[in-house]
């Protein structure tokens, strides 16, 4: 385990760790924008530069591996000044319309601008302007806000294995593109949305439904499949307006299209919230007791007339393991048949 | 008649330059004209002599293309500026009648152009047929690899290269032997040698000329490197915009295969080596080694942070040596002639020769090879023949978009890595552009920034956005919109970009600005404070007016002006309405009486 010092503090870092990782383990903060702990280092935003004794120029801590005896300084007037220039450059090519941005209050770039007190911009100049034309159903891509951190590209490749997007063009015109700049047409897992540090990628259905400070966050489990990903519902009033997932969960914050964007059913007026029994060709709302009685009576009648094997049970992959266990137990023990299965496919 | 028959036994050779410059000037047509003329005359006069055509690569003096040598026994003369219609005369008067056509013979300046050069690479480049492996073998080609395969260990080869003192010609001047040694010692199942033939600097054509003129020297250099580092597969990364270089290289590789110089167990030894060509799409950044690796691997050419260096983790994650074309093609000559020979050329720390593409406002433009340590002034005045139109020399730009401008008072600077670096420029890969009094330094800086800005890969913020802002500030200057404090802002941003950029492209992109600011600050100030362009280049800062006392009222300007800004009666002084003037300068150019003023 290499031993190094960071700002004079001795730190033991695991072999192969980067200077940034070592610093964060020692609770020393280094600002970053393009870094994501679960993705390969990029070294694009240049905010994480530090001074290392013996190296004549500042280096990016996210790409530099630790070595024995290294002496790192994470903050100095020169380093902070360089970071400020980098931020000013980013903001000189940004719409700066936080007032109407979905991500305001939950945006790393905004946070950095606040930390470094950037208001006036001495590098003001041309800004990228794009026509908004992506007609995909789920993801709003406002690439004028994109800071080219590359996280979306990496998550799509390294986590999702889809490679739906990549860097295109060169120079100031460089841009995150789909193939031939067609509308995004991918799995819509939204992993890219979850790692974007700015308002460049958001859910289309989130629009004007309420920002971070307006919502109550409720941690729960996704009801779509037996994997049971941990999700966080963003609830405004009694409405679920967004679903996210925390990075420190078993699914590491990654979700699929259903978990992330398929939440509209919760507040759908078509959703059944009370049991119904059909009488004379019409559904009538009844109490749970009445519904259970009805089911039990019908099952008993069928079993008496045709035997237990005339009955089959089909449960849902949306149920948890525990629920499915209870269900097969009921069909096998109470009804008395092995005709039991569930829809493993959705 | 008797005498003619004797003469006919002479061995006559006609050599036509078909380097890129030669081809552009019509080399192919000239060859066809020679073929036809010889054919015609042979039939008519029934002469019995042998006459060869040899295609040769670039011999440097592009300003005088098409160059043709006529070798008559042991006498050889060179013609310059040959067009197809002159071929017939040369055949009749020189080949048949034995009288060289004097008006097309090269003159003194041609000799001056060559006398201060020291040609190692370009010597063979201009004389052998690049499409014939035998031509290279005849001048000692492939002797180097044979020599090492019959009794030198890889370490001995590396020591020889170290002792020669050769440093990488791709720009940074890293010692080649040290690089090979690191790769040889790095653990890895496979190792690769990559030839960097991306050559993206605007105005540079050294590497292209070497490949077009002597592709086998590059192949042999790669074989020697491969043997030294323990590699059996090499790649040449070459831009697709160099089609004739690619063709020649393909042909050379095929010929080497055919006679067993490439492939399994070369020359019956244990050493096997093969070569692949990877075409680049012409992005400047793909010349940067980590971007180049990504590009060969099929990824977008974007640099990554170093370490790890390619000698440890390069192509496909394996130890890899990346060398420039010129570096590699020097290698066979070093092995053949010995490191002591090579080390005797040049200076203590910068050995050997360097090829430059000499362009701009000098009389003799072209490809030159000079010993390291030669002074800049010697290149410009002796080889280059001085400034066109005997105008005032202003600066020489070295190192292209990563380099800088060196002013008059530093013309004594020797061309070595250290001395040039001291001036704020770099030796670079070999672009050398001479500027005169009519060049605006702000505009020159802007030209290079336009290039680097457009070629930035976009990965890192200071380069992607910072160079754009630099360009915008320069653009303001040239439009008369600069304000107090802008120079300081420019300087700060330049320094911040240099320090924070990820790769060499961004780290050096501000150099053209910093070096012009260093030596020509007053020109910047004139643009900002006086809204004046001293070289009279920046259009927006110029005003045109008619000087009544000189105007004869001839009407030439009136007819030339596309904006109809000039009015006046015949034979009376004309008037120019500056609110309509679009500053195209047409009036200035046509007036015979110097009556149009430009300020
Ligand atoms: C932006 C950029 C462009 C480069 N372009 C080239 C090039 O076109 N050809 C080249 O040989 N080296 C180029 N280099 C330098 C290479 O990265 C590398 O240092 C060189 O090929 C090493 O070869 P050498 O040791 O023989 O000089 C470039 C570097 C940078 C940063
Ligand atoms: S939604 Fe998923 S698949 Fe689509 S681009 Fe984003 S990460 Fe890739
Ligand atoms: S869209 Fe977001 S995640 Fe992707 S590069 Fe831009 S800022 Fe980064
Ligand atoms: S310095 Fe420029 S070219 Fe190099 S990685 Fe950064 S953006 Fe790309």
Q: What is the pLDDT of residues B191-245, one digit of tens each?
A: 999 999 999 888 888 999 999 999 999 999 999 999 999 999 999 999 999 999 9
CB of A231 within 6 A of ligand 3: the answer is: no
CB A127 within 8 A of CB A93: yes
Which ligand 2 atom sits closest to the C-alpha of A162?
3
CB A145 within 8 A of CB A104: no
- Residue B460, both tokens: 């890192």
Q: How far is the CA of A163 from the centre of ligand 2 (A)?
A: 8
Nearest C-alpha in B relative to A150: B459
The C-alpha atoms of residue A4 and residue A19 are separated, in whole angstroms, by 9
Q: How far is the CA of A261 from the centre of ligand 2 (A)?
A: 12
The C-alpha atoms of residue A165 and residue A188 are separated, in whole angstroms, by 12
Of B453, B455, B499, the CB nearest to A58: B499
What is the structure's pLDDT at A165? 98
Interface probe with A: pick from B200, B307, B469, most Cβ of A within 10 Å: B469
Which ligand 2 atom sits closest to the C-alpha of A257?
1
Does position A10 have pLDDT exceeding 60, yes or no? yes
- Residue B186, both tokens: 């790095």
Does position A198 have pLDDT exceeding 60, yes or no? yes
Cβ-Cβ contacts under 8 Å, A45 against chain B:
460-461
Would the CB atoms of B305 and A150 count as touching at under 8 Å? no
Nearest C-alpha in A relative to B472: A125
Q: How far is the CA of A170 from the centre of ligand 4 (A)?
A: 10
Helix (H) or strand (E) holding A243: strand A239-244
CB pairs under 8 A between A and B: 107
Q: Region A100-128: what's the mean pLDDT? A: 94
Sheet architecture: strand order including A230-236: A216-221, A230-236, A239-244
B501: Cβ contacts below 8 Å, ≥ 6 apart? A46, B460, B462, B463, B466, B507, B509
For B542-598, CATH gives: 3.30.70.20
pLDDT by residue for chain B (599 residues), tens only, comes to 444 444 445 677 888 877 777 777 888 888 888 888 888 876 444 443 444 456 666 667 777 778 888 887 778 888 888 888 888 888 888 888 888 888 888 877 777 788 899 999 998 887 889 999 999 999 999 999 999 999 999 999 999 999 999 999 998 899 999 999 999 999 999 999 999 999 988 888 899 999 999 999 999 999 999 999 999 999 999 999 999 999 999 999 999 999 999 999 999 899 999 999 999 999 999 999 999 999 999 999 999 999 999 999 999 999 999 999 999 999 999 999 999 999 999 999 999 999 999 999 999 998 999 999 999 999 999 999 999 998 999 999 999 999 999 999 999 999 999 999 999 999 998 999 999 999 999 999 999 999 999 999 999 999 999 999 999 999 999 999 999 999 999 999 999 999 999 999 999 999 999 999 999 999 999 999 999 999 999 989 998 999 999 999 999 999 999 999 999 999 999 999 989 999 888 999 999 999 999 88
Would the CB atoms of B500 and A171 count as touching at under 8 Å? no
What is the structure's pLDDT at B10? 63
Q: How far is the CA of A215 from the centre of ligand 2 (A)?
A: 25
Phi, psi of B259, rounded to the nearest 5 degrees: -100, 15
Q: How far is the CA of B292 from the centre of ligand 1 (A)?
A: 9
A34 falls within a domain: yes
CB B350 within 8 A of CB B417: yes
The C-alpha atoms of residue B274 and residue B297 are separated, in whole angstroms, by 18
B331 sits in the region (left: phi over 0; alpha: psi -120 to 50; else beta) called: alpha
Same domain membership, residue A29 and residue A60: yes
A258 falls within a domain: yes
What is the structure's pLDDT at A342? 83
CA B351, chain centre distance (Å): 20
Fold of B353-436: Ubiquitin-like (UB roll) (3.10.20)
A91 falls within a domain: no
Same domain membership, residue A306 and residue A259: no
Fold of B10-106: Glutaredoxin (3.40.30)
- Residue A65, both tokens: 């591996």
A112 falls within a domain: no
Same domain membership, residue A282 and residue A258: no
- The CATH number for B123-343, chosen from 3.55.40.20, 3.30.70.260, 1.10.1240.10, 3.40.50.11540, is 3.40.50.11540
Q: How far is the CA of B453 from the centre of ligand 4 (A)?
A: 10
CB B69 within 8 A of CB B34: no
Dihedral of CA atoms A177, A183, A188, A191 in degrees, nearest 10, equals 20
B343 sits in the region (left: phi over 0; alpha: psi -120 to 50; else beta) called: alpha
A309 falls within a domain: yes
The C-alpha atoms of residue B526 and residue B542 are separated, in whole angstroms, by 13
Same domain membership, residue A236 and residue A286: no
Ranges assigned E (strand) in B142-273: 192-197, 233-239
- In angstroms, the separation between the Cα of residue A13 and the nearest Cα of chain B is 19
Which ligand 2 atom sits closest to the C-alpha of A188?
1
What is the structure's pLDDT at A345? 53
Give the residue numbers in B contacting A (CB under 8 Å), as ranges: 283, 285, 300, 302, 304-305, 307, 453-462, 464-469, 472, 489, 492-493, 496, 499-502
Nearest C-alpha in B relative to A125: B469
Cβ-Cβ contacts under 8 Å, B455 against chain A:
170-171
A231 falls within a domain: yes
What is the structure's pLDDT at B67? 84
Cα atoms found within 13 Å of the Cα of residue B350, Cβ hemisphere only: 20
**Average confidence score pLDDT of chain A:** 95
A184 falls within a domain: no
| Number of CB atoms found within 10 A of residue B496's CB | 21
A128: Cβ contacts below 8 Å, ≥ 6 apart? A93, A143, A144, A172, A173, A175
- pLDDT tens for each residue of A267-295: 899 989 899 999 999 999 999 999 999 99
What is the assigned CATH class of domain B441-529? Answer: mainly alpha
**Does the model's pTM come out above 0.80?**
yes
Nearest C-alpha in A relative to B282: A170
Same domain membership, residue A280 and residue A258: no
| Number of CB atoms found within 10 A of residue A57's CB | 12
Helix axes B206-213, B243-258, angle to 10 degrees: 40
| Strand-strand pairing, B192-197 and B320-324 | parallel
CA B467, chain centre distance (Å): 25
Structural domain harbouring A53: 3-75
For Cα atoms B419, B423, B424, give the angle at the middle one, nearest 5 degrees: 120
CB B275 within 8 A of CB B231: no
Does position A95 have pLDDT exceeding 60, yes or no? yes
| Strand-strand pairing, A282-285 and A276-279 | antiparallel
The C-alpha atoms of residue B149 and residue B139 are separated, in whole angstroms, by 19
Last residue of a domain, one of A14, A43, A75: A75
The C-alpha atoms of residue B10 and residue B7 are separated, in whole angstroms, by 5
Counted domains in chain A: 3
B129: Cβ contacts below 8 Å, ≥ 6 apart? B54, B55, B56, B135
Ligand with the closest atom to the CA of A199 = 3
The C-alpha atoms of residue B154 and residue B225 are separated, in whole angstroms, by 9
Cβ-Cβ contacts under 8 Å, B305 against chain A:
41, 43, 59-60, 63-64
ipTM of the complex: 0.89
Give the Å distances, CA to CA, from B138 to B18, B73, B104, B132, B133: 20, 18, 30, 10, 9
Q: Which residue has the tokens 């690899």?
A: B145
The C-alpha atoms of residue B368 and residue B16 are separated, in whole angstroms, by 19
The string over B188-222, giving b where at least 16 C-beta atoms fall within 10 Å of a residue's C-beta and e elsewhere, is beebbbbbbbbbbbeebbbbbbbbbbbbbbbbbbb
Nearest to B406, CA basis, from B537, B500, B272, B516: B516
Query: Per-domain residue ranges for chain B?
Result: 10-106, 123-343, 353-436, 441-529, 542-598
Give the Å distances, CA to CA, from B450 to B281, B427, B445, B446, B461: 19, 21, 9, 6, 17
A82 falls within a domain: no
- In angstroms, the separation between the Cα of residue B257 and the nearest Cα of chain A is 39
Dihedral of CA atoms B48, B53, B59, B60 in degrees, nearest 10, equals 100
Same domain membership, residue A214 and residue A265: yes
């Amino acid at each position: 385990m290499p031993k190094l010092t960071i700002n004079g503090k001795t730190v033991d870092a695991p072999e192969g760790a980067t200077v940034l990782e070592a610093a964060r383990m020692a609770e020393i903060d280094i600002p970053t924008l393009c870094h994501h702990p679960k993705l390969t280092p990029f070294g694009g935003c240049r905010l994480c530069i530090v001074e290392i004794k013996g190296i004549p120029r500042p280096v990016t801590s996210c790409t530099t591996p630790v070595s024995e005896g290294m002496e790192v300084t994470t903050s100095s007037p020169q380093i902070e000044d360089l970071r400020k220039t980098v931020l000013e450059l980013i903001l000189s090519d940004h719409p700066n319309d936080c007032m109407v941005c979905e991500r305001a209050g939950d945006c790393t770039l905004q946070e950095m601008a606040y930390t470094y007190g950037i208001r006036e911009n001495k590098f003001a100049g041309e800004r990228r302007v794009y026509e908004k034309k992506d007609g995909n159903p789920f993801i709003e891509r406002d690439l004028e806000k994109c800071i080219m951190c590359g996280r979306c590209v990496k998550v799509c490749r390294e986590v999702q294995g889809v490679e739906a997007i990549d860097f295109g063009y060169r120079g100031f015109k460089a841009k995150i593109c789909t193939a031939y700049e067609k509308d995004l047409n991918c799995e819509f897992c939204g992993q890219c949305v979850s790692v974007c540090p700015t308002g460049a990628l958001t859910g289309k259905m989130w629009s004007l439904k309420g920002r971070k400070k307006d919502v109550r966050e409720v941690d729960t489990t996704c009801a779509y499949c037996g994997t049971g990903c941990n999700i966080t519902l963003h609830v405004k009033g009694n409405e679920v307006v967004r679903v996210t997932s925390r990075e420190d969960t078993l699914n590491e914050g990654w979700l699929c299209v259903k978990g992330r964007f398929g939440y509209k059913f919760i507040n759908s007026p078509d959703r059944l919230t009370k049991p119904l029994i059909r009488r004379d060709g019409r559904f009538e709302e009844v109490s749970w007791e009445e519904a259970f009685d009805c089911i039990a009576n019908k099952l008993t009648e069928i079993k008496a007339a045709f035997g237990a094997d005339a009955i089959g049970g089909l449960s849902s992959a949306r149920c948890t393991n525990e629920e499915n266990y209870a269900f097969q137990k009921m069909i096998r023990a109470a009804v008395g048949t092995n005709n039991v299965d569930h829809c493993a496919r959705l | 008649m008797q005498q003619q028959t004797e003469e006919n036994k002479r061995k006559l050779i006609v050599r036509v330059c078909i380097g890129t410059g030669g081809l552009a000037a019509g080399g192919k047509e000239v060859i066809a004209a020679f073929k036809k003329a010889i054919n015609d005359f042979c039939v008519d006069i029934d002469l019995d002599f042998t006459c060869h055509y040899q295609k040769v690569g670039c011999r440097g003096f592009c300003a005088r293309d098409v160059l043709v040598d006529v070798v008559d026994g042991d006498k050889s003369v060179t013609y310059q500026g040959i067009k197809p219609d002159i071929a017939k005369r040369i055949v009749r008067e020189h080949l048949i009648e034995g009288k060289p056509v004097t008006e097309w013979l090269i003159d003194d300046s041609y000799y001056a152009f060559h006398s201060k050069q020291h040609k190692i690479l370009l010597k063979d480049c201009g004389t052998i047929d690049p499409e014939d492996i035998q031509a290279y073998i005849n001048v000692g080609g492939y002797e180097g690899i044979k020599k090492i395969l019959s009794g030198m260990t890889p370490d001995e080869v590396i020591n020889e290269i170290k002792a020669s003192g050769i440093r990488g010609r791709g720009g940074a001047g890293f010692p080649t032997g040290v690089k090979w040694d690191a790769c040889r010692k790095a653990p890895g199942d496979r190792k690769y040698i990559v030839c960097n033939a991306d050559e993206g600097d605007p105005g540079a054509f050294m590497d292209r000329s070497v490949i077009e003129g002597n592709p086998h020297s590059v192949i042999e250099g790669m074989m020697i490197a491969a043997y030294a580092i323990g590699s059996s597969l090499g790649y040449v990364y070459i831009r697709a915009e160099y089609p004739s270089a690619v063709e020649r290289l393909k042909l050379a590789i095929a010929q080497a295969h055919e006679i067993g110089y490439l492939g399994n167990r070369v020359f019956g030894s244990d050493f096997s080596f093969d070569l692949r060509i990877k075409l680049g799409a012409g992005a400047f950044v793909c010349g940067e080694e980590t971007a180049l690796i990504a590009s060969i691997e099929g990824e977008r050419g974007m640099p990554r942070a170093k370490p790890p260096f390619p000698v440890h983790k390069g192509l496909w994650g394996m130890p890899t040596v990346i060398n420039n074309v010129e570096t590699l093609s020097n290698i066979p000559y070093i092995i053949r002639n010995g490191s002591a020979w090579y080390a005797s050329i040049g200076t203590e720390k910068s050995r050997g020769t360097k090829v430059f593409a000499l362009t701009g406002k000098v009389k003799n433009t072209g490809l030159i090879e000079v010993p390291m340590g030669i002074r800049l002034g010697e290149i410009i005045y002796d080889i280059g023949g001085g400034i066109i139109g005997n105008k005032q020399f202003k600066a020489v730009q070295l190192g292209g978009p990563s380099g800088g401008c060196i002013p008059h008072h530093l013309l004594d600077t020797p061309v070595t890595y250290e001395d040039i670096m001291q001036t704020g420029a770099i030796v670079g890969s070999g672009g050398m552009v001479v500027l005169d009094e009519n060049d605006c330094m702000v505009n020159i800086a802007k030209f290079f920034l336009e290039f680097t800005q457009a070629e930035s890969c976009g990965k890192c913020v200071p380069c992607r956005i910072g160079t754009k802002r630099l360009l915008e500030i320069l653009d303001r200057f040239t439009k008369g919109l600069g304000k107090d404090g802008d120079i300081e802002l420019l300087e700060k941003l330049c320094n911040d970009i240099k320090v924070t950029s990820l790769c060499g492209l961004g780290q050096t992109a501000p150099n053209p600005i910093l070096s012009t600011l260093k030596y020509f600050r007053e020109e910047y100030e004139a643009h900002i404070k006086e809204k004046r362009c001293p070289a009279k280049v920046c259009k927006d800062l110029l005003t045109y007016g008619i000087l009544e006392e000189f105007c004869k009222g001839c009407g030439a300007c009136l007819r030339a002006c596309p904006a109809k800004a000039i009015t006046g009666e015949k034979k009376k002084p004309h008037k120019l309405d500056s609110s309509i003037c679009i500053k195209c300068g047409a009036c200035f150019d046509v007036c015979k009486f110097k009556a149009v003023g430009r300020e």
